[in-house]
Amino acid sequence: MLVYGRNVAKEILNKDKKVQKIILQEGFDDKEINSLIEKSNFPVEYAPKYKMDHLSNGNHQGIILNIPDYKYLQLSEILEDSNFVVILDHLEDPHNLGAIIRTCEAAGVDGIILPKDRQVQVNSTVMKTSVGTLDQVRLVSVTNIANTIKELKDNGFWVVGTALSDKSVDYRSVYYSGKIALVIGNEGAGMSQLVEKSCDYVVKIPMYGTTNSLNASVAAGIMIYENRRSEERLSRNA
């Protein structure tokens, strides 16, 4: 996997992650990064700007790292010690995925579950947007979300989906107790019908302006912290 940009490069090199190759633009002069590269002993290749531009899909800032593909976990690896997970129903925007990863890390979410197909995967943009939190969050890759929801229910999870529909209830009216799996739908289509039918509750965030929906990562942030707020309130009243 190719990742690029100076901040991401510093993060990877400082954490001693495995790097297969470093590609630097001819004349690259960042003293801090050059020092880290010298200490790392990773193979380095120099290339002209046009080649760097061709390899990257954004502003590479003169450095590209070829690193191993992200290693996802299996659902079985997080089930025993998880009480709060987030399920992503075929998100397409890497910025949304990166922002959700960052929020999940901040809120102490136990894992993020995403499908293998028709879903944005961890890439350079996700790494940049998640701002160094990717290693602290457990990402699980699954073949079928509906089957995964069934397995979560079999293990004591309540499943809460988010959708703007007539059947949805205000997200503040749900009693978030016990093990919770929160489903965030696709940016345009929302949750699939099969996934929505699998949910125990379907909730919505009220809209008070002319906008009829929120960005997926914003909605995820509101729902994640509502769950945390409910947990804290229950703990105080226990």
What 3-state class would DSSP assign to 46? strand
Q: Measured between alpha carbons, how far is residue 171 from residues 37, 59, 92, 155 in Å?
A: 49, 39, 24, 23
Nearest one of 208, 200, 145, 210 to 167, comparing CA atoms: 200
What integer is the mean pLDDT of 26-51? 91
Q: In what order do the strands lie in the sheet with 63-66?
A: 2-4, 63-66, 21-25, 44-47
Tokens of 168: 């949805």
10 — phi, psi (to 5°)?
-60, -45
pLDDT at res. 226:
93
- Bigger pLDDT: 213 vs 140: 140
pLDDT at res. 65:
92
pLDDT at res. 130:
85
Does residue 56 carry a pLDDT above 90?
A: no
Helix 94-107 and helix 216-237, axial crossing angle in degrees, nearest 10: 10
State the CB neighbour count (10 A cutoff) for residue 102. Answer: 20
How far apart, in whole angstroms, are the C-alpha atoms of residue 10 and residue 32?
A: 8
The pLDDT-based confidence of 237 (bands split at 50, 70, 90) is low
pLDDT at res. 93:
93
Half-sphere exposure of residue 141: CA atoms within 13 angstroms, side-chain side? 11
What 3-state class would DSSP assign to 104? helix
Q: Which pTM does this prediction carry?
A: 0.87
Sequence letter at residue 15: K
Does residue 75 carry a pLDDT above 90?
A: yes
pLDDT at res. 92:
92
The pLDDT-based confidence of 236 (bands split at 50, 70, 90) is low
State the CB neighbour count (10 A cutoff) for residue 217. Answer: 21
Q: Residue 44 has what DSSP assignment?
A: E
